Structure 1
Amino acid sequence: MAEQLYKKILLPTDGSKYADKSEKHALSIAAAYNAEIIALSVVENTVPVNLTGKETVAEINQLLESETLSNLKKVEDLRDEQGLDIKITPKIAKGSPAKAILAVAEEEDVDLIVIGSSGKSGIDLLLLGSVADKVVRSAKCSVLVVH
């Protein structure tokens, strides 16, 4: 009998079109290996500098948390639409996305991280960095980057 390569898959999601693609890949791999998916959405806890002054930090945090829950629900909805029997454990973390993804990967002892890439290049990549790139360079498990 073949070895089960993947038992736990970490799926970071931010609701973007890049995350949508990675969700499909993660569900397909999980179905093939009968693996669990840990769907992770990270709330960056930095306050945007372009506030109008009307928003309070509490209101912004509430909005971010709501968006995060919506991102996680999308993964479950996609699983249900495809009629898959996959265990999905939703998880929310706060902080820097790359650091949070790496921390959860270690805490949960995942075998694979499936992450979307925005395809940044040039000056954008230099100035902003890439969450996927940071994860690839520092993860202790396999990483699948979906473009």
Structure 2
Amino acid sequence: MKSMFSHILIGVDGSKESFRALSYAMTLAKQFNGTCDVMYSIPPRVYAELAEREVKIEEPSGDVKFISMLQQEENHIRDLVQDIAAKEGLTIGFHTRVGDPVDAMIEYVSTSGVDLIVVGSSGKGMADRLILGSVSTGIVHKSPVPVLVTKPEA
């Protein structure tokens, strides 16, 4: 019999709220013997700004290469996610999309068998959400599966 939450998707953007959501989702995955995938979405305006900027990377071999700032950030977040998961004895799939985070996550859910989405909330008030938008609110309104929104620390 399939467990209640066998495939969990977590939205991670590098914020402490998103890493709190990751921690909570991993706890659920272990409890229900499920799997986790992380979605890291890059808004198009951020992509356009950072994709062309390069940083110098020195390889352990002494070789030097250049990668985009965007790739460096993605690598950093992926490595953090994988390190946190490894400490919990889990392997987590990591997926990157360029585009609206809400649309990217909903599209992934429709093709992957995800049965729960976990996202963090920054605790913005109603006025901030109207001006800035809210990924967690968008996910809740559009998701075909249950959504768990973790709250910020008090």
TM-score under structure 2 length normalisation: 0.81
Instruction: Report if aligned partners of 1:9, 1:26 keep a CA contact under 8 Å in 2.
Output: yes
The alignment status of 1:92 with 2:96, answered yes or no, reads yes
Instruction: Report if aligned partners of 1:43, 1:68 keep a CA contact under 8 Å in 2.
Output: no
Return the letter of the residue paired with 1:58.
Answer: E
Task: Identify, as 1 or 2, the structure richer in strand.
Answer: 2
Match of 1:59 in 2: 53
Deviates more, 1:93-102 or 1:70-79: 70-79
Match of 1:13 in 2: 12
Unaligned runs of 5+ in 1: none
RMSD of aligned residue pairs (Cα, Å): 2.2
Return the letter of the residue paired with 1:37.
Answer: C
Instruction: Report if aligned partners of 2:85, 2:91 keep a CA contact under 8 Å in 1.
Output: no
Q: Percent identity?
A: 27
Match of 1:121 in 2: 125
Instruction: Report if aligned partners of 1:12, 1:41 keep a CA contact under 8 Å in 2.
Output: yes
Match of 1:23 in 2: 22
Q: Identify the match of residue 73 of structure 1 among 76, 79, 82.
A: 79
TM-score under structure 1 length normalisation: 0.84
Return the letter of the residue paired with 1:63.
Answer: M
Tell me how far 1:14 sits from its aligned partner.
0.6
Aligned equivalents of 1:77, 1:28: Cα separation in 2: 15
More RCO (CA 8 Å, sep 6+): 1
